[in-house]
Amino acid sequence: MGLFELARRVGEKRLDDLARTHARQPDRVDTGLPLGACIGGMIELVLADFALLEGSLLRVPKTAQMPIVAVSRLHIDADEDLSIFRMYTDIGADRDGQGSFLQVMTGKDRPQDIRDIAYYQFLYREYPVSAEEQDAFLGNGYGLGQDHYGMDRDELTQIPHVFAGAGRIDALLAGEDALGYERDAPGGSYIRPWTGRERRLDDGVGEKGVEKTHSFMQYVRRLPAGPTQQSGAVERLWIDFEKVESMDGRSAPAVWVDYLAGLSIDPQHLKVF
Amino acid sequence: MKTIRFQIAAALAAVALAGSFVAPVAFAKGSGFSSSHSSFSSSSSHSYSSGSSSSSYHSSSSSSTVSRSSGFSSSGSSKSIPTTALGSSLYAAQSSRDAAATLNTSQSSRNGGGSGSSVGGSYGGTPSYGATRYSSPAPVYSAPSYSAPAPQTVIVHQSSGINSFLFGWLLGHDSSPRETVVVPQPAAPMAPSSNDSGYQNSQPGSPPVSAMAGGSDDASGVQAQSDHLPSAAAVPQATHEQPHPFLTVLKWIVGIGIAGVLVTLLHRAWAARKARFTAQTNYRL
């Protein structure tokens, strides 16, 4: 390395240090969330709420306290003012959303007016490749939006933590052919799925994140009552046709169908700090 | 109860599709979509799988009867679990939106004739308006502007800067001293009044009156020329001694321009270096 090259590199390094010092950092954009949540905060759940579930697809979270690694807001096409926020405690190994999150619905422009809280866990993912396969999720009069959904053995085997447990599937099915869910919405035998857009922030300033559209419907089923319960809890099944548009500011087209299980959370059993 | 219904639906659907060209597996496991609103016969004719639509939705295609229970179905039975706040809110939002869209559609279809005619009227008016506006200015604009070639503007500029363009002013100002000022200069040195009048008076045969008259005329002419002489002679000297004001301005402009370019390049380089360490906001809630 010549003297000139050495001087050039030292100069570059000094200039980089100076530029790093003077570089302006944008303001945080993960603000205005309900419960005072932000990236880097913590969510504390009562694990007993999960441990006491009978025949649920949900796992008991590993720890009661989980860090918030990402936040997002769902903008529902039918009502832009409907405030649905998500606080992700896990976004998957490749930040592809195969994780878990706390979803909070609040009143319009009133983050403290909490209407619904639920904790969702990713179950499995399917990739509808052909147009015919995708049509079933896009509000064409059949498929997603029909008033019942049955999850059979083949689908249960795609859920890693269910498939791993010996005899777990048989226990879940309890002699039935499938787990039966009913649509979590009134209406006739079919209604169009809900559609919306989600912007997920994976850091506080919004440099990293994901933007995708959703076509989704929620189904519910009542779990068997536990030994100390009069009636079982209601398990949610969120079936979501997702189209990823961009990731980290760059185009990243992808389409898949996610199946997530959820459980309603009592606000008294939740802490966000 | 639910199990019985599922099993009956599965069996009937499998029977109904057994003779069709669509493989039972494709329907059964396929997407699992089915609709059995009120009667099973209608459900099978629906064949939401619509032939091939559901043929490859589920990756695995195992036994048909078991997998038939998978997927979406419509039973039309009443809900046994109360709708959550999330579900009811989403339903209300979408239903109200659909209702509003229906209302707008029906209203527009009712008022369709009136609005159509009004639109047609408005479109009918515009062409005549546009025609009158575009007809007049076009000929006026084209004729005179391109008739005079560019070099002649230099000559026109000698009459004191009517043309305000920098280039035209530059050429006109640069060439005018040589053409109009320098060329008349050789006539000026014969202006010295005393020598000239004496020489004319010493010429033989010249009538004194007329000589006097002519002399006086010449004197006045020479005097007039001598009045112009100092100013005319001073101009070339001034151009030799100090740079022309235009050149001075040009130098300033070039200097400022170079400085501006340098500052801009430095600023851009610094901004680019800072941008490497600056996070940008790609997403907002």
| Segment 248-277 of chain B within 8 Å of chain A by CB | 270, 273-277
- Verify whether the Cβ–Cβ distance B281 to A23 is below 8 Å: no
Q: Give the predicted TM-score (pTM) of the model.
A: 0.60
- Asked if residues B175 and B152 have their Cβ atoms less than 8 Å apart, the reply is no
- Among A16, A28, A189, pick the best mutation site for testing chain B contact (most B Cβ within 10 A): A189
Query: Phi first, then psi: what are they for A122, rounded to 5°?
Result: -70, 135
Check if B91 contacts A (Cβ < 8 Å): yes
What pLDDT does B72 receive? 86
Is it the case that residue A217 has pLDDT exceeding 50?
Answer: yes
Q: Which residues of chain B have pLDDT under 70?
A: 1-70, 76, 112-240
- Verify whether the Cβ–Cβ distance B84 to A220 is below 8 Å: yes
Which chain A residues have a beta carbon less than 8 Å from that of B71?
149-150
* Interval A118-162: pLDDT, tens: 999 999 999 999 888 899 999 999 999 999 999 988 899 989 888
Q: Which residue has the higher pLDDT, A11 or B226?
A: A11
- Asked if residues A120 and A137 have their Cβ atoms less than 8 Å apart, the reply is no
Q: Which residue has the higher pLDDT, A246 or B152?
A: A246
**Which of A113, A114, A92 has the alpha carbon at shortest distance from A101?**
A92
Residue of chain A nearest B6, judged by CA positions: A177
Q: Is the ipTM of this complex over 0.85?
A: no
* Interval B140-171: pLDDT, tens: 343 344 444 444 444 444 444 444 555 555 55
Q: Which two tokens stand for residue B157?
A: 């500029």
- Verify whether the Cβ–Cβ distance A199 to B283 is below 8 Å: yes
Residue of chain B nearest A118, judged by CA positions: B86
- What gap in Å lies between CA A86 and CA B137, rounded to an integer? 62
Q: What is the helix (H) or strand (E) element at residue A251, kind and residue range?
A: strand A250-264
DSSP notation for A77-92: TTEEEEEEEEEEEE--
Which chain A residues have a beta carbon less than 8 Å from that of B39?
none
